[in-house]
C-alpha cells in the first residue's frame, strides 16, 4: 500500500528542485557581465516511480510518479563553435601582429613625404645641379655638403629606428613566451582542481569557464589542438574531464602535434633569443617539463600564417640567413646605401677640388669607423664637410669654373647600378616602399577580414552561451510559479490528511 504521506514528499521534491533552478537563475543574472561566463541550467529528471519492480510489489493500475530532482547543473557551451572561434583568433593574432609591425615600418620610412629619404636625395641631386653652374661659389658648395649630410642622416635615422623596433619585437617575443608559460601553468592547475571535483558527481562549471577563457587567450599565440580525458570515479557522463593541449606543427604525422598540457602537468617554453642588444635571429623553442620535456620546435616547423608568436618571429627575424620583415628591409637599405656611396664616390674620386689644392681621389661618403658602408654608418667625409673646397666639382685641375664633374655627380641619380638590379638608387628605394605598401595592405585587409569572421563567430557563441536577461527573467517567473504550485500542493495534501486524521471515524459527532 502506498504511503499516506507520499504526496508531501513529491511536492517537497518539487519545491527543492524549483528552488535550485531559481538559485541558478540568480547566479546567471549575477554573472550577466562576467567575461567568459557561460549560462547554466538545471537538468531536471523525474525520480523513480512507485512501486518498484519485484514479486512483492503491490498491484496498482500503473506507476505513480514520485516527483522531480535536479540531476545536474550544466553550463551551455558548443565545442564546435569554440573550435571555430579559436581558429579565427589564431589567424587574427598572426595578421594583426604583422599589420602592426609593417605599420610601424611605414611610419618610420614615411614615404611619400616632405622629409623622408627620397626627398633628401632629391634635394641632394638639385644642389649638385646648382653646383655645376657655379662651382666656384663657396655657399653653393656648403649647400651640397649639408644636403649630403642630410641624406646620410636620413639613412642613419631609418636604420636606427628600424633596429629599435626590431629590438622591441625581441622583447615582445620574450614577454609573450612568459605569458604563454603562465597560461599553461594556470590551465594545468585548473585541470588538477577539476579532477578533484568531477569524481564526486559534480560539474565544476565555473572552473570550466575559467579554463576555456585561458584556452581562448592561448589560441591567439599558437595553433592548438584540444582533447579531453575522463576523470573516472562517479563523474557524470557530461563531465568534461581533464584537458590535453597540443601545439599543431607542420611536421608529418605522428609528429604533427606536441603535447604541452596533460592533466596537471604543463610544459614551459624557452626561446633562444640573445640577451642585450644583439640582433641574432630566432632559431626555435626548447620545451621543458612534462609532457613534452626536451622537445624542440623551430620556426620552419610552425604552421604558416598561424598565431601571434609566429608573426612576431617573422617580423623580428629568423634562420641562419636572417630572413624576416625587419632583417630583410635592413639588408636592402644596407645594400642601397653601399651601392649609392660606391657609385657616387667613384665619380667623385675622379674629379678635382678648387685650386690651389686641386684635391682629388677623395671619397664623398665614408664609414667614419672604417670598413664597409651601411645605412647605419654612412656619413659625409669629414675632410670635405669641414672644407667644401675639396668637393670634386671639376674634371680638370686648376679650373675654378669647371663644373663638369658636378654634372657627372648629379647624373648618378639616373645611373642604373648593377648591384641594385640595374635600378637607379631612388627607383630601387621606391620599389622597396612599393613592396612594403603591398605587404602592409595585404596584412591590413586580412586582419580586417579575420576580425569580421571572428566577431561573427563570437556573436554565434554568445547567442548560445551568454546570459540573456530577458530569458532569465522569463525562467525566473516559470520556476517561481512552479515553486508556488508545489507549495500549494503541499497545502492540499495537508488538508486531505487533516480530514483523514481528524475527520474520519467521527460519524454522528
pLDDT digits (tens, 9 = 90+) for 433-484: 999 999 999 999 999 999 999 999 999 999 999 999 999 999 999 999 999 9
Q: For residues 155 and 116, give the distance between their C-alpha atoms in angstroms, rounded to a whole number.
A: 9
pLDDT reading at 415 higher than 90: yes
Reading phi first (left if > 0) and then psi (alpha if -120 to 50, else beta), residue 80 is in alpha
Cβ atoms of 337 and 374 within 8 Å: the answer is: yes
Task: Provide the b/e sequence for 471-492 (b: ≥16 CB within 10 Å).
Answer: ebeebbeebeebbeebeebbee
Q: CA geometry: angle at 181 spanning 180 and 184, to 5°?
A: 85
Predicted pLDDT of residue 36: 93
pLDDT reading at 204 higher than 80: yes
User: pLDDT confidence of 44, banded at 50, 70, 90?
Assistant: very high
Predicted pLDDT of residue 278: 65
**Burial of 233 (C-beta count, 10 Å sphere; 0-12/13-18/19+):** exposed
Predicted pLDDT of residue 280: 77
Q: For residues 175 and 117, give the distance between their C-alpha atoms in angstroms, rounded to a whole number.
A: 33
pLDDT reading at 190 higher than 80: yes
Cβ atoms of 486 and 9 within 8 Å: the answer is: no
pLDDT reading at 125 higher than 90: yes
Predicted pLDDT of residue 124: 97
Predicted pLDDT of residue 126: 97
User: pLDDT confidence of 507, banded at 50, 70, 90?
Assistant: low
Q: For residues 412 and 89, give the distance between their C-alpha atoms in angstroms, rounded to a whole number.
A: 50
**Sheet containing 284-288: which strands, arranged edge to edge?**
268-271, 284-288, 295-298
Q: Return mean pLDDT, the chain.
A: 93
Lowest mean pLDDT among 122-136, 245-259, 362-376: 245-259
Cα 257 to Cα 32, 94, 225, 249, 288: the distances in Å are 37, 19, 8, 6, 16
Predicted pLDDT of residue 237: 93
Q: Which of 443, 436, 165, 174 is nearest to 282 (CA)?
A: 174
Predicted pLDDT of residue 341: 97
pLDDT digits (tens, 9 = 90+) for 268-297: 999 888 766 666 788 888 888 888 888 888
Taking the model in full, what pTM does it have? 0.90
Lowest mean pLDDT among 39-53, 134-148, 493-507: 493-507
Task: Tell me the three cell numbers of residue 26.
Answer: 540568480
Task: Provide the b/e sequence for 197-212 (b: ≥16 CB within 10 Å).
Answer: ebeeeebbbbbbbbbb
Collapsed DSSP state (helix, strand, coil) of residue 4 = coil
Element (H, E) at 183: helix 138-197
Cβ atoms of 320 and 338 within 8 Å: the answer is: no
pLDDT reading at 162 higher than 60: yes
Q: For residues 412 and 128, give the distance between their C-alpha atoms in angstroms, rounded to a whole number.
A: 10
More confident residue, 281 or 147: 147
Question: What number is the average pLDDT over the span 321-339?
Answer: 95
More confident residue, 504 or 46: 46
User: pLDDT confidence of 506, banded at 50, 70, 90?
Assistant: low
Give φ, ψ of 230 to 5 degrees: -65, 150
Amino acid at each position: 500500500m502506498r504511503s499516506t504521506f507520499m504526496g508531501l514528499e513529491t511536492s517537497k521534491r518539487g519545491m527543492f528542485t524549483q528552488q535550485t533552478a531559481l538559485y541558478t537563475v540568480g547566479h546567471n543574472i549575477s554573472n550577466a557581465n562576467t567575461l567568459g561566463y557561460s549560462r547554466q541550467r538545471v537538468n531536471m529528471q523525474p525520480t523513480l516511480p512507485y512501486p518498484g519492480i519485484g514479486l512483492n510489489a503491490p498491484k496498482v493500475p500503473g506507476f505513480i510518479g514520485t516527483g522531480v530532482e535536479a540531476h545536474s547543473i550544466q553550463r551551455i557551451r558548443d565545442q564546435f563553435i569554440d573550435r571555430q572561434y579559436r581558429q579565427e583568433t589564431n589567424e587574427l593574432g598572426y595578421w594583426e601582429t604583422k599589420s602592426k609591425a609593417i605599420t610601424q615600418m611605414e611610419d618610420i620610412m614615411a614615404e611619400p613625404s616632405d622629409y623622408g629619404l627620397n626627398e633628401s636625395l632629391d634635394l641632394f641631386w638639385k644642389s649638385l645641379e646648382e653646383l655645376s653652374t657655379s662651382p666656384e661659389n663657396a655657399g653653393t658648395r656648403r649647400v651640397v655638403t649639408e644636403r649630403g649630410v642630410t641624406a646620410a642622416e636620413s639613412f642613419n635615422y631609418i636604420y636606427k629606428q628600424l633596429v629599435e623596433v626590431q629590438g622591441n619585437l625581441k622583447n615582445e617575443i620574450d614577454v609573450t613566451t612568459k605569458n604563454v608559460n603562465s597560461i599553461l601553468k594556470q590551465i594545468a592547475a585548473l585541470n588538477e582542481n577539476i579532477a578533484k571535483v568531477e569524481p564526486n558527481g559534480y560539474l565544476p562549471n565555473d572552473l570550466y569557464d575559467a579554463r576555456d577563457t585561458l584556452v581562448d587567450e592561448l589560441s591567439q599565440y599558437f595553433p592548438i589542438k584540444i582533447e579531453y580525458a575522463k576523470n573516472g570515479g562517479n563523474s557524470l557522463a557530461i563531465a568534461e574531464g581533464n584537458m590535453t593541449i597540443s601545439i599543431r606543427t607542420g611536421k608529418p604525422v605522428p609528429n604533427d602535434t606536441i603535447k604541452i598540457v596533460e592533466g596537471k602537468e604543463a610544459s614551459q617554453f624557452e626561446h633562444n633569443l640573445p640577451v642585450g642588444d644583439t640582433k641574432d635571429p630566432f632559431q626555435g623553442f626548447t620545451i621543458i617539463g612534462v609532457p613534452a620535456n626536451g622537445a624542440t620546435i623551430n620556426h620552419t616547423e610552425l604552421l604558416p600564417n598561424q598565431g601571434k608568436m609566429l608573426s612576431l618571429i617573422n617580423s623580428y627575424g629568423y634562420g641562419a640567413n636572417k630572413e624576416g620583415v625587419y632583417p630583410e628591409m635592413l639588408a636592402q637599405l644596407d645594400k642601397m646605401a653601399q651601392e649609392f656611396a660606391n657609385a657616387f664616390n667613384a665619380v667623385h674620386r675622379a674629379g678635382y677640388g678648387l685650386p690651389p689644392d686641386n684635391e682629388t681621389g677623395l671619397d664623398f661618403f665614408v664609414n667614419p669607423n672604417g670598413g664597409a658602408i651601411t645605412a647605419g654608418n654612412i656619413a659625409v667625409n669629414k675632410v670635405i664637410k669641414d672644407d667644401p673646397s675639396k668637393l670634386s666639382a671639376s674634371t680638370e685641375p686648376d679650373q675654378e669654373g669647371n663644373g663638369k664633374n658636378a654634372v657627372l655627380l648629379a647624373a648618378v641619380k639616373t645611373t642604373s647600378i648593377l648591384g641594385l638590379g640595374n635600378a637607379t638608387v631612388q627607383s630601387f628605394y621606391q620599389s622597396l616602399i612599393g613592396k612594403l605598401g603591398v605587404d602592409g595592405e595585404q596584412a591590413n585587409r586580412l586582419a580586417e577580414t579575420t576580425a569580421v569572421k571572428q566577431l561573427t563567430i563570437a556573436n554565434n557563441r554568445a547567442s548560445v552561451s551568454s546570459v540573456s536577461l530577458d530569458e532569465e527573467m522569463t525562467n525566473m517567473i516559470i520556476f517561481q510559479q512552479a515553486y508556488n504550485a508545489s507549495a500549494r500542493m503541499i497545502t492540499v495534501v495537508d488538508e486531505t490528511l487533516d480530514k483523514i486524521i481528524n475527520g474520519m471515524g467521527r460519524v454522528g459527532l
